[in-house]
Amino acid sequence: MLSDLEKCPRRLSVCEKSSFLNEASRREAHVSKHSFNYKISLLIPECGVLPAEIAKVISNFSSYHHVRDLPVYRFLEEDMLEIIKKGSFYALSYKTRLDEDNIIAVLSRKLILSLDKDTYEQLGMEGKPSLYNHRKPMRYVVTVDLTDKSLAPGAKRYQQVLLSLKERVPLRSDFLLTDCHSDRDGHLKVLLSQYTYEKCRPTLSTHNLRDLLCPSLQSSDLQGKRLSCTPEHFLEWLGAVNLNISCENSAASFLSTYACPEPCSSVSQVLLCTVTGLIPPEDISSLLQELRSYFDAPKFTDWVSLTVHGFVDSPVCWGTTEHGFLKGGENFYNFVCFKNQDYWLHMATGAHDGCPP
């Protein structure tokens, strides 16, 4: 048992404090660089019903499409390139495993292919060995800048890349994709009409938690005035709440006990709101902006929490930084928003990821 514990992979957690009023705040950059998000969790102490303004923002989240058996070369054809080059377009291969399968993603006007060795060698496109290979390279990453002039339709390199993806190795996959510009949704449907697809909406669920022990947070806590509730302890507590794990440290079970970080207090009601789907960073920015306004009217709580989870099998985590999968595929971040417009930002990655920005 001890030897197994000693082999636990490293995980990296970064935490910073700033203010929404600070013009130099990097929060928008952090949010925009985390492209592929499958779940957000909103925790609001002293709240029983989702506020109408927040509910409206969530109801306006972008729809996304589940497309079956889509050829990868389709992203290079002129009609699709027009949509991609305008930005706010995201696509991710669906039900593919990063440690075993070929993974394809489109973000920031780039096509990213995370490929096994055999596929990479057959494809004949220039790439780099994965940062997370073992002794010998067994995986490669190919990045294609779709805005590069050499990839304009008709150009020599464009024809070479198209040939590789269309004939040499005709990669296909199920995809989740979204275009945040709703005015282009009709155009996208025309492009997808020759494939089997369905339009999806993010799924919203809410849970009321009664008499929950919550940390008594103040924005200044992060400066070391209360070391008992560190950022790591707070994230552990959030995870326990989301998984419905008791935080009362009961001795009824000797296998595992857990206590809420101190100082803490019992809160009569807490609202846990969860949204799942393909959630682009633009929608998360809108929700974060609305959370700033939550404290415009007096509230009993001093803070609310927003956690954003990335797809574990995404080929990237922050920006185009390669994401690897070892045991958990973690890549997520959390905002704690305070009534004085301060915020904490926690960013966490697993063993096979680069440092958060």
CA count, 13 A, side-chain hemisphere, 48:
4
In a domain, 217, yes or no: yes
Cβ contact 40:71 at 8 Å:
no
Could you list the pLDDT tens digit for every one of the 357 residues in the chain? 344 444 445 557 788 899 999 988 989 999 999 999 999 999 999 999 999 999 999 999 999 999 999 999 999 988 889 889 888 899 999 999 988 899 999 998 999 999 999 999 999 999 999 988 777 888 999 999 999 999 899 899 999 999 999 999 999 999 999 988 666 666 677 778 889 999 999 999 999 999 999 998 888 776 654 445 777 888 889 998 988 887 776 555 555 667 888 888 899 999 999 999 999 999 999 999 999 999 999 899 999 999 999 999 999 988 888 888 766 677 899 999 999 999 999 988 776 676 676
In a domain, 340, yes or no: yes
Q: Domain boundary at 200, 219, 249, which?
A: 200
In a domain, 354, yes or no: no
Strand segments, DSSP code E, in 117-150 are 128-129, 139-145
Q: Domain boundary at 200, 220, 244, which?
A: 200
Q: Count the Cβ atoms, other than its own, within 10 Å of residue 13.
A: 16
In a domain, 2, yes or no: no
Does 131 share its domain with 258?
A: no
- Apex CA 354: angle with CA 348 and CA 355, to 5°? 55
Does 180 share its domain with 231?
A: no
Does 247 share its domain with 329?
A: yes
Q: Which domain holds residue 113?
A: 64-200
Number of domains in the chain: 2
In a domain, 4, yes or no: no
Does 141 share its domain with 249?
A: no
Does 175 share its domain with 44?
A: no
Cβ contact 61:202 at 8 Å:
yes
Q: What is the model's pLDDT at position 263?
A: 85
In a domain, 243, yes or no: yes
